Amino acid sequence: MPTTPIVQFGTSRFLQAHADLFISEALQEGRALGRIAVVQSSGDASRASRLQALADPAGYSVQVKGVDEGELVDTSKTVGSIARGLSLPSDLAEVTDLIKAQARIIISNTADAGFRPQQADAVAEFSQHMSYPAKLAWFLFQRFTAGGNPIQVMPAELIPQNGAVLRDLVLSIAQIYPEEFRAWLQSEVLWVNSLVDRIVSEPLEPAGAVAEPYALWAIENQPGLIVPCEHRDVRVVDDLEQVETLKLYILNLGHTYMVSRWLTADTASRQFVREVIEDDVELADLKDMYMREVVPAFAAQGRGEEAEAYVKTTIDRFRNPFLDHRFSDIAQNHAEKVDRRIDSFLKWARASDPDMQMPRLEAVVGSTISG
């Protein structure tokens, strides 16, 4: 069995067209840490064919379609970075062995609800009903008891300061473990903040995805950092906050704002994001929301021009004629997304200007809470 220094929790089509693709391309040039073992942590039997296809020696396909620097792009890439596919709880022993001895980096991209605490988190025995942070705590404890070699954890969930958030959740859960383990979590585990960005519109069967040309994996630098691969779309930055706020509070906020309107309209009339951009009335509302309620918050921090430029890029990305970016997909876990993308933006904006007026975004938050 090939060595897999990267263990990935999650089989999402996003990771298939993002980190897995970057690592695959870097491996061809000898610029990656190594291949990946993918773990399906949900144990969903309906995804067994996907898991098998991900680890197919022939690889799987990612179709990249859109406009890149004014040029039309329509190409297919083969991803061959995944060496094995494992599922919990059936492959618990093998996953445990990997994390105890072989893994150097753990990557994750779980569903938005994956970080939500569960009753099973309070027990120091593995349970399929645990949250992802509790499962991670359990696996790291197995590594600790096996000798405790250092390891790097770098979540790819769209949560501000995602490495620090995951660290704090794991440390809280680790109260049920020995004190020495909690000290080890802080001294020997490198918790890395990162930000991921790519619109991945639809899956291919049994594995693969359709994605836009634009992609970014911004990784916050710190002493001892291991970069999974060297790639044009992977950037190591000293301060993740500026990249993070643009992505979360413009592109992702825009998605969630459009979904809130879609949920209260005739949903049969539109399926895709691009259809909103093609509608003059809807596009005008979106642009007006950005210019009146989002850009001023960035301008209050001296970043108005930067935000305006990113809004323009974002609308061009929404307009991509190739991407079937479905509102039904974006609407999953809508309440959590409103909290993380819009309510957190309102608080962030008012930290600079308490009197800032953002009526449409406030209405989205209010209707989601009341609903």
- Domain boundary (238, 254, 288) is at 238
Summarised one tens digit per residue, pLDDT across range 227-276 is 999 999 999 999 998 898 999 999 999 999 999 999 987 655 788 998 98
Q: What is the structure's pLDDT at 1?
A: 62
Residue 301 has pLDDT above 60, yes or no: yes
Whether 52 and 155 share a structural domain: yes
Domain count, the chain: 2
Give residue 158's pLDDT: 81
Residue 231 sits in the same domain as residue 352? no
257 in the same domain as 222: no
Q: Are residues 163 and 310 in the same domain?
A: no
Give the range of the structural domain holding residue 11, as residue numbers without chain letter.
Answer: 6-238
In angstroms, the CA 250 to CA 257 distance is 10
Query: Within this chain, do residues 71 and 200 fall inside the same structural domain, yes or no?
Result: yes
Is the confidence at residue 45, as pLDDT, over 70? no
Considering the domain architecture, whether residues 32 and 96 belong to the same structural domain is answered as: yes
Check residue 112 and give its pLDDT. 66
Place of tokens 């990113």: 310
Q: Are 262 and 272 in contact (CB under 8 A)?
A: no
250 in any annotated domain: yes
pLDDT in tens, 10-41: 999 999 999 999 999 999 999 999 999 999 98
Q: Do 227 and 269 lie in a common domain? A: no
Question: How many Cα atoms sit within 13 Å of 98 on the Cβ side?
Answer: 27
Return the residue matching tokens 């459009």.
Answer: 258
**CA nearest to 217, candidates 19, 39, 83:** 19
Looking at the chain, the whole-number percentage of residues with pLDDT higher than 70 is 96
**b/e code 134-163 from CB counts within 10 Å (16+ = b):** bbbbbbbbebbeeebeebbbbbbbbbbbbb
Q: Which of 46-55, 73-82, 225-234, 309-318 has the lowest mean pLDDT?
A: 46-55
Distance CA 287, CA 61 (A): 35
pLDDT, residue 154, reads 97
Question: Is there a single domain that holds both residue 234 and residue 248?
Answer: no
Looking at the fold, whether 226 and 179 belong to one and the same domain comes out as yes
Lookup: tokens for 230: 């060297």
Rounded to whole angstroms, the Cα distance separating 259 from 267 reads 10
Query: Is cis: bond before 228, omega within 30 of 0?
Result: no
The confidence score (pLDDT) of residue 127 equals 94
More confident call, 68 vs 113: 68
Q: Looking at residue 270, which CATH number applies to its domain? A: 1.10.1040.10
288 and 349 housed in the same domain: yes
Mean pLDDT of the chain: 92
100-121 per-position pLDDT tens digit: 999 999 999 987 677 888 999 9
Domain end marker among 211, 238, 265: 238
Query: What is the C-alpha separation between 26 and 39, in angstroms, rounded?
Result: 21
217 and 324 housed in the same domain: no
Q: What was the pLDDT predicted at 147?
A: 93
Domain containing residue 178: CATH number: 3.40.50.720
Residue 323 is predicted with a pLDDT of 79
pLDDT given at position 370? 62
In a domain, 296, yes or no: yes
Q: Is the dihedral of CA 148, 152, 156, 157 positive or negative?
A: positive
* Tens digits of residue pLDDT in 191-213: 999 999 998 988 999 999 999 99
Strands 194-197 and 216-220: antiparallel
In angstroms, the CA 144 to CA 138 distance is 10
Residue 1 lies in a domain: no
- Is residue 319 included in any domain, yes or no? yes
Is the confidence at residue 322, as pLDDT, over 80? yes
Q: What share of the chain is helix, strand, coil (3-state, %, to 5)?
A: 50, 20, 30
Same domain, 293 and 183: no
Where a domain ends, among 238, 260, 290? 238
Q: Cβ distance 88 to 109 under 8 Å?
A: no
Name which residue leads in pLDDT, 168 or 67: 168
